[in-house]
Chain A
Amino acid sequence: MLSYVLRTLLKMAVTLFIIVTLVFFATRLSGNPVDFVIGEGITQEDRQLLIAYYGLDGSIATQYRKFIASILTGEFGLSFLERRPVADIAAERIWPSLKLLLSTAIFTFALSIPLGIAAAVYRTRFIGSAIMVIAFMGYAVPPFVIATLLVLIFAYTLNWLPVVGDGTALHFIMPTLAMSGMFVAALTRFTRNAMLDVLGQDYMRTARAKGLPERTVILKHGLRNASITILSVVGLQIAGWIAAGSVVIESIFSWPGIGDLLVRSAIMRDYPVLQFGVLMVAVAVICINAAVDIAYAYADPRIRLAKG
């Protein structure tokens, strides 16, 4: 177990190193970012000062060392646009992002677990195939199309829901729906497949033979066993999806979260913010993946009890 954990952590460190290096070279390859953003109206001395401030002077090796040092010490510099520390700007946006993710997660699980079970139990009936068709559509439609159509219908045509911001509970409805589309589709599929595997098992027949009500058989004996498979598939993909989904959805609804910040800083070429945001999300994703990996290893006695 210990060696497995160490290997996972080592892999995580390598991935982190790659993303840090990628971010470093990407921002340096295209010439001097200071020139891009500040432009012409600046004296030579001020320009040098700025370049020194952002750690853009010296050879590539020195710059790289400074870059790593600044990450380790938490000195990420000021936003080009807002002249505030990027860490402060990003920190304000974490909570709104988490709120949206939480409501999306609740909605997704509440909807797709029952749907997936129904699709498996009624697989030969109309309802079963209908669920899978809907799930397929959720998977094939880009989230931004769902979001735009939702806005058109519920905000502009029916005037029921507000479009921009995160003020009230009503503000959560459309972003949550748009973001869940893909997740619900995927989770419904996983749940159905996992349930189908379980439904054919001997212990299900035994449970029925004992005279247990069908409801108990499906939920207690079926779902509980299927949940391990479901969680293992979801856990490995969830972090990446979340990152992709929140970038698009937050940007559409001007949700004051990390995803919206990333798109804004990419369009405005606010490199310090973009750099910090990308690193932050990448670190979060990599840490979640490593945690999920280790959790499964712990749950799997073959790995947990292995020697070494």
Chain B
Amino acid sequence: MSDLTSSLPETSRRPVPSLHRIPGYALWCKADWVLRIALVVGMILVLLTIAAPLISPFDPNDQSLISRLRPPLGFERYKAGFFLGTDELGRDILSRCIYGLRLTFALALAGAVIGLLIGGTLGLLAGLVGGVFEDFVMGAVDAQIAIPFTLIALLILAIFGSSLEIMVLVLGVYGWEQHARIVRGEVRKLTGMPFIEAARAAGAGPVRIALRHILPNVVSPLVVQFTLNFSNIVILESTLSFLGLGVQPPTATLGSMVGIGRDYLPTAPWIVVAPAMMILLLTFAVQILGDWLRDHADVRLRSR
């Protein structure tokens, strides 16, 4: 054996740059083919979102009345350059899909983060403080679970109209109760544990215990819930926009493209099919990832 290695040229002894240095490579190795597809699709969608202005061939709101309702590549009357065809105002569907995806992503991310912050903070405080405050928070959680969120969203959007800010607010209110419930449950479970007792005995104050000892232990269930929540918010946002209650035209979101394109379904189905497929890819990718995380991320759950 030693002959073999010593006969190799000096250069190959140097440590090879390992694939394991790439973040997420370990995840990729453990993944089955479904998750791999989801990861690739997810990455492509994220790239599309980030690079939207570079990639999209046209401005999403540029109208061209002479090239209205042109079909996608490969059909009769296809107009060069408009790969996925044009809509009823002659706007490029590919560009609108990319920008729509971008907005959907941004809204869902903002909504999910707000929900996480509200729910996480209230849950943490409720678990630590207890007493009347806890009863109040958990009462609000129960109420939000009991009332279908679609009703709340309809009410808010009808009354305040729908601008991007209101949309972010509505999506942010969605799902906070799940975060609050999870965090508070974990905190209650953790506060009884010996290592918290030990930290307290060592003289750590309540803030330090909350941030340094409890919070890190709540992270993994929160990540899972965040991912599932993100995918639900994507569905909620596109549904509201589809119904005409969400983001208003001419701004493109995937949901409103399907909603408005519905009127042209008999004659120009491509207006609807492209954004609908985009929504499917997005929700599949996120949901698969969330499901997988739920089954594998938590070390304690996995060993069971």
Of the candidate stretches B85-93, B142-150, B184-192, B211-219, the one touching chain A is: B142-150
Return A246 CB to nearest CB of chain B, in Å: 9
> Is the beta-carbon distance between B158 and A265 smaller than 8 angstroms?
yes
Q: Is the CB of B147 within 8 A of A142?
A: no
Instruction: Say whether, besides A26-B155, A266-B154, A144 and B239 are in contact (CB < 8 Å).
Output: yes
B283 touches which of A141, A151, A247 (Cβ 8 Å) = A141
A1 within 8 A of B: no
Considering residues B154, B160, B239, B279, which has the most beta carbons from chain A within 10 angstroms of its beta carbon? Answer: B154
Residues of A whose CB lies within 8 Å of any CB of B are 11, 14-15, 18-19, 22-23, 26-27, 29-30, 136-137, 139-145, 148-149, 151-152, 156, 239-240, 243-244, 247-248, 251, 262-263, 265-267, 269, 271, 274, 278, 281-282, 285-286, 289
Give min CB distance, B247 to chain A, whole Å.
14
Check B231 against A140 for contact (C-beta < 8 Å): yes
Task: Please indicate the chain B residues that have their CB under 8 angstroms from the CB of A137 in the complex.
Answer: 284
- 8 A Cβ contacts from B44-89 to A: none
Is the Cβ of A144 less than 8 Å from the Cβ of B265? no
Residue B151 lies at the interface, judged by CB distance under 8 Å to chain A: yes
Binds A, one of B9-17, B110-118, B125-133, B269-277: B269-277
CB distance from A303 to the nearest CB of B (A): 18
Please tell me if B262 contacts chain A, counting CB pairs below 8 Å: yes
With A29-B159, A148-B272, A248-B243 as given contacts, are A282 and B148 in contact (CB-CB < 8 Å)? yes
A selection of 8 A-B contacts at a CB cut-off of 8 Å is: A140-B231, A144-B242, A144-B258, A148-B276, A248-B242, A266-B154, A274-B155, A285-B148
Give 3 nearest A-B pairs by CB, closest first: A243-B148, A266-B158, A140-B287
Residue B106 at the chain A interface, CB threshold 8 Å: no
Tell whether, in the assembled complex, residue B265 and residue A19 are in contact, meaning their CB atoms are under 8 Å apart: no
B139 at the interface (CB under 8 A from A): yes
Within the complex, what minimum Cβ distance (angstroms) separates A257 from chain B?
Answer: 14
Q: Is B31 an interface residue (CB 8 A)?
A: no
Q: Is the CB of B157 closer than 8 A to any CB of chain A?
A: yes
Interface residue B40 (Cβ < 8 Å from any Cβ of A): no
In chain B, what residue has the closest Cβ to A157?
Answer: B269
- In the complex, the answer to whether B235 meets A142 with C-beta atoms within 8 Å is yes
Q: State A15–B159 Cα separation when bound (angstroms).
A: 22
Contacts of B242 in A (CB 8 A): 144, 248
| Cα(A74)–Cα(B219), bound, Å | 48
Given that A15-B146, A263-B243 are contacting pairs, would A247 and B265 also be in contact in the complex, using a CB cutoff of 8 Å?
no
Question: Which of B147, B239, B266 is in CB contact (< 8 Å) with A285?
Answer: B147
What is the bound-complex CA distance between A285 and B152, given in angstroms? 13
Contacts A148-B265, A248-B239; A140 near B154 (Cβ below 8 A): no
Contact of B245 with A by CB under 8 A? yes
Q: Is the CB of B148 within 8 A of A152?
A: no
Within the complex, the shortest CB–CB distance from A133 to chain B, in Å, comes to: 8
B238 at the interface (CB under 8 A from A): yes
Assess the B143–A19 pair: CB atoms within 8 A: yes
Q: B291 to chain A: which residues have CB within 8 Å?
A: 136
Given contacts A136-B291, A286-B146, contact A247 B154 (CB under 8 A): yes
A151 with B265: CB separation less than 8 A: yes
CA distance A281 to B154 in the complex (A): 12
Question: Nearest Cβ distance between residue B149 and chain A, in whole angstroms?
Answer: 7
6 more CB-based (< 8 A) A-B contacts, given A19-B143, A247-B243: A26-B159, A140-B284, A141-B284, A148-B262, A239-B148, A244-B148
Complex contacts, B258 vs chain A, CB 8 Å = 144-145, 148
Which residues of chain B from 232 to 281 have any CB-CB distance to chain A below 8 Å in the complex? 235, 238-239, 242-245, 255, 258, 262, 265-266, 269, 272-273, 276, 279-280
- CB atoms of B159 and A27 under 8 A apart: yes
B37 within 8 A of A: no
Point out the residues of chain A lying under 8 angstroms from B158, CB to CB.
Answer: 265-267, 269, 271, 274
Query: Chain A: which residue is nearest B291 at the CB level?
Result: A136
Across-interface contacts of A18 in B (CB, < 8 A): 140, 143, 147
| Chain B residues within an 8 Å CB radius of A274 | 154-155, 158
Which residues on the B side are within 8 Å of A289 (C-beta)? 146
Residues of chain A lying within 8 A (CB to CB) of residue B148: 239-240, 243-244, 281-282, 285
CA gap between A11 and B139 in the complex, in Å: 8
Closest-by-CB residue of B relative to A269 is B158
Give complex CA distance A162, B245 in Å: 26
User: Which residues of A lie under 8 Å from residue B287 when comparing CB positions?
Assistant: 136, 139-140
Which B residues are CB-close (under 8 A) to A19? Answer: 143, 147
The chain B residue sitting closest to A262, CB to CB, is B154
B156 at the interface (CB under 8 A from A): yes
The answer to whether A244 and B142 touch (CB under 8 A), given A148-B262, A152-B272, A265-B158, is no
Q: How far apart are the CA atoms of A142 and B242 in the complex, in Å? A: 11
Considering the complex, give the chain A residue whose CB is closest to the CB of B272: A148
- Contact among A26, A140, A152, A267 with B273 in the assembled complex (CB-CB below 8 Å): A152
Contacts of B139 in A (CB 8 A): 14
How far in angstroms is the closest Cβ of chain A from B17? Answer: 37
Cα A29 to Cα B166 with chains together (Å): 14
Residues 142 to 201 of chain B near chain A (Cβ within 8 Å): 142-143, 145-152, 154-160
- When the two chains form their complex, are residues B283 and A266 in contact, meaning their CB atoms are under 8 A apart? no
B146 touches A152 (CB 8 A): no
Please, which residues of chain A bring their CB within 8 A of the CB of B243?
A: 144, 247-248, 251, 263, 267
Residues of B within 8 A of A143 (CB): 239
- Cβ contact within 8 Å between B151 and A267: no
A181, chain B: closest CB distance, angstroms: 12
Q: Which residue of B lies closest to A28 (CB)?
A: B159
Q: How far is the CB of A116 from chain B (nearest CB, A)?
A: 17
